[in-house]
């Protein structure tokens, strides 16, 4: 059984896959308590893998995004294998503090200050910018490095930072800007 906060269908609003239709599986709970977290993820329902797949299969897209909370607390090889057998491309949004199954197709890591990364492979680093020193995150090997305004509040500051540090790309919370789930 896995504790699921919600499963819903929308467009990916952040990072490299912005605009892509996806089924989001939001897991309950997180091992970090970030002051800027904008997601209510503590409540949830216990679901079997079969029930999760049944819900995911209701939607016409191929992409599934595992998110939370921290999905790394709940997932394993068996769930990833079932999603692949269902024909899904599996992406995850993680804080990187938990080891992950190697078969995940795309790993978005949003590292947090003071935490230790335990993931072996990262496709995309996405840092919520609150004015902190983000230069150490450039040493994380990944295809993409994104800075994201904190809840759409400091966009001008982030744009200025990226213009001065062009190794970064801008990620906006498009879903919030266009008011979709």
Residue-number span of the structural domain to which 19 is assigned = 2-177
CA distance 167 to 20: 24
pLDDT in tens, 105-131: 999 999 988 889 999 999 999 999 999
φ, ψ dihedrals at 128, nearest 5°: -75, 120
Q: Is the dihedral of CA 115, 116, 119, 123 positive or negative?
A: positive
CATH number at residue 11: 3.20.20.70
Q: Note if the pTM is more than 0.75.
A: yes
Please count the structural domains in the chain.
1
pLDDT in tens, 48-72: 999 999 999 999 999 999 999 899 9
Q: What confidence score (pLDDT) does residue 173 get?
A: 86
pLDDT in tens, 76-87: 999 999 999 999
Give 65's strand partners: 24, 91
Active site residues: 24, 30, 34, 37-39, 93, 175
């Amino acid at each position: 059984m896995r504790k699921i906060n919600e499963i819903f269908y929308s467009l990916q609003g952040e990072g490299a896959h912005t605009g892509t239709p996806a089924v989001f599986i939001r897991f309950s709970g997180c091992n970090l308590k970030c002051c800027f977290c904008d997601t209510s993820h503590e409540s949830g329902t216990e679901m079997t893998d079969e029930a999760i797949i049944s819900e995911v299969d209701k939607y016409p897209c191929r992409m599934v995004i595992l998110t939370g909370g921290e999905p790394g607390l709940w997932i394993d090889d068996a769930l990833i294998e079932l999603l692949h057998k269902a024909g899904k491309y599996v992406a995850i949004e993680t804080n990187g503090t938990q080891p992950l199954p190697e078969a995940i197709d795309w790993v978005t890591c949003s590292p947090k200050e003071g935490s230790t990364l335990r993931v072996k492979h990262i496709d995309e680093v996405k840092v919520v910018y609150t004015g902190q020193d983000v230069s150490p995150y450039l040493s994380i090997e990944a295809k993409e490095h994104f800075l994201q305004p904190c809840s759409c509040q400091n966009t001008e500051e982030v744009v200025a930072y990226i213009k001065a540090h062009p190794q970064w790309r801008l990620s906006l919370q498009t879903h919030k800007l266009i008011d979709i789930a």
